[in-house]
Structure 1
Amino acid sequence: MKKLIALDHSQLVAAFRDKGVLHIKEGNGKVLTLLKPDLWKPEMGHDWIFLLFDLFQIRSICEPFSEVSLDIIEYANKPTVYHSPANRIVKDGPMIDGVLKFSLIMEPIWNKLLFQISQPVLVKIDSKESNAYQTPLLFPLLSPSTKEMFLGPDGDVKIIKG
């Protein structure tokens, strides 16, 4: 286990680009597995979430959204996992009935890590991996105030977990 006081972005990004997978034990003690989407296999399960650093990345994984749906994402004040229909170009991936999960990570330090990776990344929370980097920083989606919502491309919204 490699201890990091803060997220050492250069070390983590280099490790991720080299192997395509990265395990980070965050401040709650949960191990996050970050994975390049093209390395995901069905036997890995479907409990993965796409992590995005920018609103414009949504286009690469989801059907085009209405302005209402984009505003909901942009102005969310709590960490939120969205369930939305996958873009047709996403042939394989952790989705159920054509719906995938994603989150726009706004917390500055985690956002910077995702920005430096510069592509949508899959995350599995609490993957139980033992060989992980460690940081005292809390991962935003592990907050008790995390919400889940369904967002459809036509502006339909359904709260799954409020």
Structure 2
Amino acid sequence: MEINNIVRLLRENGRVCLQEGAGRKIELIDPDQYDEGNDQSAIYLLTDLFQIRALAGQFSEIALDIVEYATKPTIYTSFASPLLSKGPVKDGKVKFGILKQGFWNKVVFSFSRPLLYKEVFEQEEAGTIKEKFPLFRPDVKRLFLSPEGDVKIGN
């Protein structure tokens, strides 16, 4: 499936279900269309460090350096910005990953804004992508970044 088709479906429907290269199903969601009730499992996908400011409240310079220089796929958790009115915020915290390169980066970049993703199991996919989704790799790190610069490693 081509990037422009994915972006078109996102703009038309607010979400699209895809099967990624390892066979898992992923749903990409426009944050403006996110209305999942109690399901707060979706994670923001970003392409740029500056997008963090829209999601996280106070964010230390140390935390920015950690995100900027990370070489492995990482899912970060931080306190949500009070300006974040809609989206998956659980216990005042928000999760995000930064896609620095590759096919999935191009999808988010082409949409021109952060996207949400979550793994789904029973939905019909709109298409198949040969590239594996980087945040499903077994070596994905999980870090909590506090406004004071504290870092906690998750499992």
TM-score by length of 1: 0.90
Q: 2:83 corresponds to which letter in structure 1?
A: I
Q: Does 2:135 correspond to 1:152?
A: no
- Equivalent residue, structure 1, for 2:57: 63
Of 102, 119, 124, which aligns to 1:108?
A: 102
Aligned residues: 155
Q: CA deviation at 1:64?
A: 3.1
Q: Does 1:131 align with 2:102?
A: no
Aligned pair partner of 2:14 in 11, 20, 38:
20
Aligned residue number for residue 95 of structure 1: 89
How much identity, in percent, do the aligned residues show? 39
| Alignment correspondent of 1:46 | 40
| C-alpha distance in 1 between matches for 2:56 and 2:141 | 19
1:86 to 75, 80, 91: 80
The gaps in structure 1 that reach 5 residues or longer are none
2:114 paired residue number: 120
Do 1:31 and 1:132's aligned partners in 2 also have CA atoms closer than 8 Å? no
**Structure 1 outlier segments of 4+, above 3 Å:** none
Deviation track 1:77-135 (CA, whole Å, cap 9, x = no partner) reads 11100110011111232121100110001232211111110111110123431132101
Contact 1:30 1:128 in 2 (8 A): no
Closer, same or farther in 2 for the Cα pair 1:60/1:125, shift >3 Å? same
Return the letter of the residue paired with 2:62: V
Partner amino acid for 1:103?
Answer: G
For the 8 Å contact 1:47–1:124, the answer to whether it is kept is: yes
Partner of 1:33: 27
CA distance 1:88–1:72, shift in 2 (3 Å): same
Structure 2: runs of 5+ lacking an equivalent: none
Q: Secondary structure at the match of 1:102?
A: strand
Q: TM-score, normalized by length of structure 2?
A: 0.94
